[in-house]
Amino acid sequence: MIPRRGLLAGASALALGRAAHAAAAKTLRVGTQKGAGILMAERRQRGLETLLNPLGIEVQWTEFQFGPPILEAMRVGAVDIGLVGDTPPIFAQAAKSDLLYIATVPSGLSAILLPAGSAIQTLADLKGKRIAFARGSSAHNLTVAAIEKAGLKFEDVQPVGLAPADAAAAFERGAIDAWTIWDPYYALYETHPGVRVLAVSTDILPQNSFLIGSRAFVEANPAITTKTIAELSRISSWAEANPAEVAKLVSDGTSMPYDPTLRAIKRSPFKVLPVSADDVRSQQEEADRFLRLGVIPIRVNVADWVWRQGA
């Protein structure tokens, strides 16, 4: 048996080791994606740099087209914190990636769009049709939930996994029958001649985005993580009060026209919140849905992956 003094010494050494590791972080690597207004505004205002540079911590930004590649980069140690939709962390958990939910960011709108000339009128009419969405993204979950709401099985449709840019091209040339996509792409295409909105996300199920952190980084650097969340909360309040400026940033950064970008920004709830019990419950329902369909191989317990600040 190890003497109590030895246990205390070992615990102190472990605590010192963690503290030294936390202090050793010299870089915060943030993964963002096109159209993420909060992070685009933050990057322009350099609030994180103002907070962290005096502590000797550099901030590096890497842009991705959508969520799953951010978490893949996190899995291989190339990203520390990223903003993604509700589905990517579930797929990452199922793949045994070691990550943590560190904050909730309520999502803007997504929709199922129909191309010009489509005869589809209801969700049930999607039976047998080609529906495009980015696999492992929030659009994947929305598509599955919409199909089930219509009383169909997922095997009743033809899923087409495409990243947003590829799906947009397929949509424009009529190669798909429907497209599930989020803002600002939704805002861009909803007013195209002949395009119709079959359903919006708020008609199907609640959706959130999340700030996700590498478990190794977050647990070794709780102070940096806390400062990052606080700064992104500050910038979200600024963004909510300045939609025109945020829309200009997103429009310039994505080459999307300003007017639809502004429409998307105005219907986005700009908030950064603690991960609530309702958020965990919703994520668990989503994870269980994908397990039931055989899309993920194992059951994941979402609650085990939530950062308990100060715990």
> pLDDT tens digits for 34-50?
788 999 999 999 999 99
24: domain CATH number?
3.40.190.10
What whole-number distance in Å separates Cα of residue 243 and Cα of residue 253?
Answer: 15
Residue 263 included in any domain: no
Residue 311 included in any domain: no
Instruction: Indicate whether 54 and 34 sit together in one domain.
Output: yes
Instruction: Indicate whether 136 and 173 sit together in one domain.
Output: yes
What's the confidence (pLDDT) of residue 20? 38
What's the confidence (pLDDT) of residue 25? 77
What's the confidence (pLDDT) of residue 21? 37
Instruction: Indicate whether 86 and 219 sit together in one domain.
Output: yes
Instruction: Indicate whether 275 and 246 sit together in one domain.
Output: yes
- What is the domain count for the chain? 2
What's the confidence (pLDDT) of residue 35? 80
What whole-number distance in Å separates Cα of residue 214 and Cα of residue 28?
Answer: 11
Instruction: Indicate whether 52 and 188 sit together in one domain.
Output: no
Residue pair 134/164 in contact by the 8 Å Cβ criterion = yes
In a structure prediction context, what are the per-residue pLDDT tens digits for the chain, which is 311 residues long? Answer: 333 333 333 333 333 333 333 445 799 999 998 788 999 999 999 999 999 999 999 999 999 988 999 999 999 999 999 999 999 999 999 999 999 999 999 998 999 999 999 999 999 999 999 999 999 999 999 999 999 999 999 999 999 999 999 999 999 999 999 999 999 999 999 999 999 999 999 999 988 999 999 999 999 999 999 999 999 999 999 999 999 999 999 999 889 999 999 999 999 999 999 999 999 999 999 999 999 999 999 999 999 999 987 65
What's the confidence (pLDDT) of residue 292? 92
For strand 99-106 and strand 27-33, is the pairing parallel, antiparallel, or unpaired? unpaired
Instruction: Indicate whether 121 and 167 sit together in one domain.
Output: yes
Residue 130 included in any domain: yes
Q: Global pTM?
A: 0.85
Which residues span the domain enclosing 170? 110-204
What whole-number distance in Å separates Cα of residue 19 and Cα of residue 114?
Answer: 54
What whole-number distance in Å separates Cα of residue 225 and Cα of residue 94?
Answer: 24
Structure tokens at 288: 């269980």
Phi and psi for 133 in degrees, rounded to 5? Answer: -165, 160
242: which strand partners?
none
Instruction: Indicate whether 159 and 187 sit together in one domain.
Output: yes
